[in-house]
Structure 1
Amino acid sequence: MKPLDSEQTQARHWFGHLRDLICAEFEAIEREAGSDASFDYTAWDRSDPSGEPGGGGVRGVMKGRVFEKVGVNVSTVGGAFEGDFAKSIHGAADDPQFFATGISLVAHMTNPHVPAVHMNCRFLTTTKRWFGGGADLNPPLPYAEDTADFHATLQRACDAHPAGDYPRFSAWAEDYFRIPHRGVNRGVGGIFFDHLEGDFATNFAFVQDVGRAFLDAYPRIVRRRMGEAWTPEDEATMLEWRGRYAEFNLVYDRGTLFGLKTGGNIDAILMSLPPRATWA
């Protein structure tokens, strides 16, 4: 992989720093629940089709009392897209060379009253340069208070930046995080954005605040719900909902396809899948 330039380096460092902040906060929640669970980190390397070094990343996974399974991955990869896949990537149709760095997080919770969650932020370079990402809340048993809290926190982050367009990004999340063959959304939304081009500093500041907003909202929601009692019926609802979540990630999710098409670490790519699910 080619040496990183200043913008690529800044983005990579931020995503790694954000990972450390999130993992520390999730481990603190486990301590509060009387668990000594912590993240296990596994580094991986990638080679592009030519055999040249293509970067790599670190897969972090924790299985605890509150977090039944949570994965927080960071990666920085580069090389060339193969074949027709390049035509589907912004700015890569005429030149398949690419660089990508980012963070990806999915948490599946033990208590059905605690919502699962997804968060991803990334910076890509082809013949163009852009940020993408977002966060969405996925409760098996939705609470209006949690949904409003999550959306309000993300909206404040959007409203603080010229690059943040909450109405557009929220509607985009509603459209993207949908399971067409089921005719339902996989959760209660959040924000989703892609191909955020233009001034790097302006867009980078917004992406950083998206990460900070997630770190503000989600742990608060977890602590609000993790002590709730649940029934076998609640758990059955959660497991059936997890089946739908798995369907979306395997059939429609762009990040899954991107990782598999670019030679990413399979365990890291599929860490989004729940540890248990049912198809009743």
Structure 2
Amino acid sequence: MMELDAEQQAARDWFESLRDRICAEFEAIEAEAGGDARFDYISWDREDPDGAPGGGGVRGVMKGKAFEKVGVNVSTVAGRFNPEFAQTIHGAAEDPRFFATGISLVAHMANPHVPAVHMNTRFLVTTRRWFGGGADLNPPIPYEEDTAEFHARLRAACAAHDQTYYTRFSKWADDYFFIPHRGVHRGVGGIFYDHLECQERGATFDANFAFTRDVGEAFLDVYPKIVRRRRDTPFDEADRARQLEWRGRYAEFNLIYDRGTLFGLRTGGNVDAILMSLPPLATWS
């Protein structure tokens, strides 16, 4: 069993509590839509290459009437990066030991007028300590009202901590969530941040943890409102075809470019949990 220090335990406890509240809200939305689906939770354990226990996590998945497929995962893992991969990770080149805990969520919706969404926040420890994460909205059929509300809520979360955060992190999201081989963004953006250091330039764990918590709260506040606004919008076969083609683009990004996918696969994570972000159905023309 891993021994966690106070900061690691606090982060882990928060991510797990956020998971519980998000899943409860999503189950409530599903019930309102007339469905009876609930999350199925599957625990998994990780083993380090040397055979030592390396933590694990819980994969939660629900498939229902409103949520065609939604996955909410939490994990807490530790071990050693292999030497090659360690060279690519912040603070690991000189010491390959690592710790990571976080929550990752992707929702693919049944109604094409309801935007899919991604949210992830995490705390990592190598020879450095930092937070990263963000949230971005991915509508097959964009609505300006939804985009504006999503960004406004994230902007408010950022402004409570640093007036530069939203400008910096929304641009980071635009740059990151881009599919170069298609020449398109995978959605209408949000925020993305990484290497929010807890040990340099006056930064503290408490301040960065507070911001990361507010990102999670902002997501829990705004996304259910958007789902409830759009879930009963009529749609036709053309709308569904547009959704399935868009999902193909989403899958391409996650399999080719997404850092979280690469991190999970390169550190011996649970493959089903890592790939839960993939849509249940997609098309390519």
2:2·2:55 contact (CA, 8 Å) conserved in 1? Answer: no
Once the two structures are superposed, what CA deviation does each residue of 1:199-247 show, in whole Å capped at 9, x if it has no partner? 0000000000000000001000000000000010000000000000000
Aligned equivalent of 2:119: 119
2:258 aligned to which of 253, 268, 271: 253
Matches within 5 A, 1:19-168: 19-162=19-162, 165-168=165-168
Per-residue deviation, 1:119: 0.2
Q: Counterparts of 1:86 and 1:140 in 2: how far apart (Å)? A: 37
- Deviant stretches of 4+, over 3 Å: none
Matched, 1:241 2:242: no
Matches within 5 A, 1:255-270: 255-270=260-275
1:163·1:203 contact (CA, 8 Å) conserved in 2? Answer: no
Once the two structures are superposed, what CA deviation does each residue of 1:79-103 show, in whole Å capped at 9, x if it has no partner? 0001210011000011000000000
Matched, 1:272 2:277: yes
1:61·1:71 contact (CA, 8 Å) conserved in 2? Answer: yes
Q: 1:188 is aligned with what amino acid?
A: V
Q: Counterparts of 2:221 and 2:14 in 1: how far apart (Å)? A: 17
TM-score of the two chains, using structure 2 as the length reference? 0.97
Unaligned runs of 5+ in 1: none
Q: 2:224 is aligned with what amino acid?
A: P
Q: How many residues are paired up?
A: 280
Per-residue deviation, 1:12: 0.1
Once the two structures are superposed, what CA deviation does each residue of 1:168-200 show, in whole Å capped at 9, x if it has no partner? 000000000000000000000000000001300
Q: What secondary structure sits across from 1:88 in the alignment? A: coil
Q: 2:275 is aligned with what amino acid?
A: L
Per-residue deviation, 1:162: 3.3
Aligned equivalent of 2:220: 215
**RMSD, aligned α-carbons:** 0.9
1:71·1:272 contact (CA, 8 Å) conserved in 2? Answer: yes
Aligned equivalent of 1:5: 5
Aligned equivalent of 2:201: none
Q: Counterparts of 1:58 and 1:140 in 2: how far apart (Å)? A: 29
Q: Counterparts of 2:185 and 2:9 in 1: how far apart (Å)? A: 36
Q: What secondary structure sits across from 1:242 in the alignment? A: helix
TM-score of the two chains, using structure 1 as the length reference? 0.99
Aligned equivalent of 1:225: 230
Q: Counterparts of 1:279 and 1:229 in 2: how far apart (Å)? A: 24
Unaligned runs of 5+ in 2: 199-203
Per-residue deviation, 1:136: 0.1
Q: What secondary structure sits across from 2:102 in the alignment? A: strand
Q: What secondary structure sits across from 2:113 in the alignment? A: coil
